[in-house]
Every structure is written in structure tokens, then in C-alpha cells.
């Protein structure tokens, strides 16, 4: 088995989407992919009433993405994450949303390389698990290659950060919504490739616009890793091919019907705790994309998963609309 970087393939954290149900579902499709939590603020972890670090042991390898800018608070949260068994802590220096900027974290921190470096160093000093940074290639008018290399050089040097996940777009901190910031600024893959050539000692992974495993393989000729975003959510079936294509391992439950049924014990346990079926099944809607009956599958779940008393029988009924249309080799 080749010694692949832990960053070789991962799924991008998405606010209000990458919850523990989503991660558990993705893990049924791929065993080797690194999964990320949605961004959790240091304030929520330290002062919040809920358990913002909850996850299932089945999710490993799993990384906690933190939002914050206070080195002491980040170090406290990183320590808690390690105690809870997370495999990595990641600092978000890429999210451009207003609510993130108002808290002085996310992409606006690209303008404060020394603060980011101090935050990473503070976390590294108290944990033994990897501390990584997810960032953009620039913000607003600060988008030259020199700006990017200065930022990376400072955080890698002063902060001792060894791993960066680079979203290959700049971020506009005003004038664009987070959704527009994922689509309007142009992608610049060559800039990320150049970064790896200029910092060969660092682990550099790329994020942004990746839709196929063929694209992943192309990027891996230049970089250490690739992070897939929206495609993994809209077309999760693609993840069933990841272990074999990217890691040389056959994942046991590549058949989408088997994947759905593998979720039943988890769903039943969650229903017993009071979770609504729809909170889990919303992540499964795109599983049969490209297969006849996929629309009926989505419609049945969308219309019935939120009804009182909805349970796995809703899934069985939805499967009946699509299962007999799946090629046997799927």
C-alpha cells in the first residue's frame, strides 16, 4: 500500500451542511477520504450549551475545522479536539461570509499573516495531531502571487504550519455572497501548482471546482492532495469510486442500494434519540444521480421524510422506485 498523504483526497467543509449525519453517510461510500466538520467557532465550543465536538467513531479519519482568531482560544479548542479523538485540526482562513468577518476570522485573516501564524503555533504547541490551514489565493485587491507566497511563507515559518489546503479562487470580502464567492472569482490552478513548486517541503492540497475523479488525478500530478466540494454533496455516488481509484483499495459497499441499507442501524438509533428522518436523508438525495428513477427517489424522500413518524420504511419505499433500474455491476 503506497504511503499516501492524509490530504490525498478530502471533502470540503460546508457551513450548515457537513454535519455528523452527512459525514456518517459519506463514510459508507469511502473509507479512505478525509472528512471535515463544518466550521465551528471557538466561541461555540468554549461557551456554547451544545456539544459542538460530537461525532461518530465511524467517521475517522475526521478533522475539526475551527473558526476564530484568538490564539489562546484556538489552542484551547485544539486541545479539546485532540482529547475527543479528532485526527486533525484545521483553521479556516478562507470563508468570506459576513458573519465570519464580523467575528474576525475566515478569509479576512489572510491580511493578518502574523496573527494566523501565531494562532497555528499556539495550537501546534499543545497538540500532537496535525494543525492545517485552509485558505484562498488572495482577498480583494491583495491577490498577487507575491502576497500569497508571503502569507504562506509567514504561516509556514513563524507558525510552523506544514499543510495548506488552497481554494484556488480569491475572495471578495464585500459585494459577493458566499455562494457567489464560490463561483464568480476565476479559478487559478496554475498558481497553486506554482506554490507547490516554490514550497516543495510543504503539503499542498487544492480545492475549488473539482467535479470528477479524472480531474483529481490530474491535480495529483502536481500536488499532494485534492479537496472536493459541491460535487460530493450533489452527486455523492462519485465517492464510491474514490477508494479504488485514488487509494487502490476496494470499498465493500460501493452499490448504492447497499449504502442506503447500511445507513438503517444509524438512522434507527438517531430516530430513537429524537432526530427527524429528514435531517439524515437530506444528505442522501443525490445518491442515485444519473440512474433512472433518481428523480422519483428524491421526490419521495423530500415529500415524506419530514412527516411525523417517518422511519426507514420511507427509504424502503423510495428504494423501490429506483433499485430495479440500477445496473447489476453498480
- Do the annotations mark residue 14 as ligand-binding? yes
Q: Is 263 annotated as a binding residue?
A: no
65 annotated binding-site participant: yes
SS3 for 165? strand
Among candidate residues 22, 77, 95, 108, the one labeled active-site is 95
Rounded to 5 degrees, what angle do the CA atoms 75, 39, 219 make? 105
Among the listed residues 320, 312, 267, 270, the one whose alpha carbon sits nearest the alpha carbon of residue 293: 320
Q: Are 225 and 7 in contact (CB under 8 A)?
A: yes
> Is 15 assigned to a binding site?
yes
CATH number at residue 52: 3.20.20.70
- Output the pLDDT for position 329: 44
pTM of the model: 0.93
Q: Are 203 and 181 in contact (CB under 8 A)?
A: no
Q: What is the pLDDT of residue 195?
A: 98
143 CA to centre of own chain: 24
166 lies in which domain range? 9-247
Residue 322 contacts residue 294 (beta carbons within 8 Å): yes
Q: Read off the pLDDT of each residue in 24-43 and give the average, rounded to a whole number.
A: 96
pLDDT tens digits, one per residue of 248-301:
987 665 689 999 999 999 999 999 999 999 999 999 999 999 999 999 999 999
Question: Per the domain annotation, does 2 fall within a domain?
Answer: no
Query: Is residue 330 a part of any domain in this protein?
Result: no
pLDDT tens-digit readout, 35-65: 999 999 999 999 999 899 999 999 999 999 9
- Examine the fold and report which residue of 203, 230, 247 is the final residue of a domain before the chain moves on: 247
208 known member of a binding site: yes
Examine the pLDDT at 330 and tell me if it is beyond 60.
no
- Give 17 or 179, the one with higher predicted confidence: 17
- Indicate if 95 belongs to the active site: yes
Burial of 51 (0-12, 13-18, 19+ CB in 10 A): exposed
Does 227 appear as a known binding residue? no
| One domain for residues 146 and 128 | yes
Amino acid at each position: 500500500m503506497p504511503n499516501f498523504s492524509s490530504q490525498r483526497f478530502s471533502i470540503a467543509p460546508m457551513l450548515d451542511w457537513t454535519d455528523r449525519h452527512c459525514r456518517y453517510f459519506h463514510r459508507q461510500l469511502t473509507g479512505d477520504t478525509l472528512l471535515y466538520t463544518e466550521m465551528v467557532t471557538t466561541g461555540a465550543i468554549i461557551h456554547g450549551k451544545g456539544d459542538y465536538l460530537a461525532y461518530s467513531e465511524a467517521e475517522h479519519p475526521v478533522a475539526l475545522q475551527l473558526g476564530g482568531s484568538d490564539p489562546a482560544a484556538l489552542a484551547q479548542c485544539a486541545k479539546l479536539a485532540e482529547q475527543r479523538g479528532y485526527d486533525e485540526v484545521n483553521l479556516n482562513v478562507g470563508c468570506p461570509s459576513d458573519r465570519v468577518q464580523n467575528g474576525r476570522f475566515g478569509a479576512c485573516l489572510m491580511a493578518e499573516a502574523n496573527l494566523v501564524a501565531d494562532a497555528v503555533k499556539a495550537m501546534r504547541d499543545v497538540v500532537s495531531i496535525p494543525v492545517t490551514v485552509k485558505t484562498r489565493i488572495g482577498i480583494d485587491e491583495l491577490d498577487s502571487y507575491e502576497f500569497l507566497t508571503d502569507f504562506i511563507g509567514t504561516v509556514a515559518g513563524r507558525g510552523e504550519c506544514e499543510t495548506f489546503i488552497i481554494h484556488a479562487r480569491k475572495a471578495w470580502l464585500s459585494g459577493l455572497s458566499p455562494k457567489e464567492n464560490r463561483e464568480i472569482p476565476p479559478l487559478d490552478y496554475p498558481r497553486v501548482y506554482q506554490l507547490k513548486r516554490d514550497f516543495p517541503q510543504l503539503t499542498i492540497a487544492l480545492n475549488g471546482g473539482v467535479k470528477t475523479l479524472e480531474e483529481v488525478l490530474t491535480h495529483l500530478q502536481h500536488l499532494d492532495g485534492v479537496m472536493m466540494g459541491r460535487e460530493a454533496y450533489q452527486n455523492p455516488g462519485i465517492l464510491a469510486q474514490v477508494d479504488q481509484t485514488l487509494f487502490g483499495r476496494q470499498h465493500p459497499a460501493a452499490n448504492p442500494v447497499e449504502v442506503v441499507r447500511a445507513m438503517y442501524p444509524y438512522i434507527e438509533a438517531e430516530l430513537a434519540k429524537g432526530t427527524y428522518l429528514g435531517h439524515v436523508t437530506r444528505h442522501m438525495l443525490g445518491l442515485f444521480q444519473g440512474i433512472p428513477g433518481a428523480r422519483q427517489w428524491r421526490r419521495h424522500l423530500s415529500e415524506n421524510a419530514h412527516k411525523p413518524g417517518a422511519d426507514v420504511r420511507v427509504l424502503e419505499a423510495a428504494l423501490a422506485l429506483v433499485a430495479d433500474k440500477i445496473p447489476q455491476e453498480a
